[in-house]
Copies of this chain bind each other. A is one copy, B any other.
Amino acid sequence: MKRVRIPVSTVNRLSLYLRVFGQIEAGGQATVASRELAALTGINPAQVRKDLAYFGQFGRRGVGYAVSGLKREIRCILGLERDYACAIIGMGHLGQALLMYKGLRDQGFKVVAAFDSDPDKIHWELEGVPVYDIAELKTVARELNVEIAILAVPGPAAQEVAEAVAEARIPAILNFAPVPLRPGPGVLLRQVDLAGELEALSYRLQKL
Residues of A that sit less than 8 Å from B by CB? 8, 11-12, 14-16, 18-20, 22-23, 26, 39-42, 77-80, 84, 86, 93-94, 96-98, 100-101, 103-104, 106-109, 147-148, 155-156, 171-172, 174, 178-180, 182, 188, 190, 192-206, 208
Contacts and interface: CB of A to CB of B under 8 A. Distances in A.
Contact of A174 (B107, B155, B172, B197): B197
A199 B15 contact: yes
B104 A198 contact: yes
Given A12-B200, A171-B208, A205-B147, A179 B101 contact: no
A92 to B, nearest CB: 8
Contact of A19 (B16, B180, B182, B190): B180
Contacts of A20: 179-180
B180 A16 contact: yes
A206 B19 contact: no
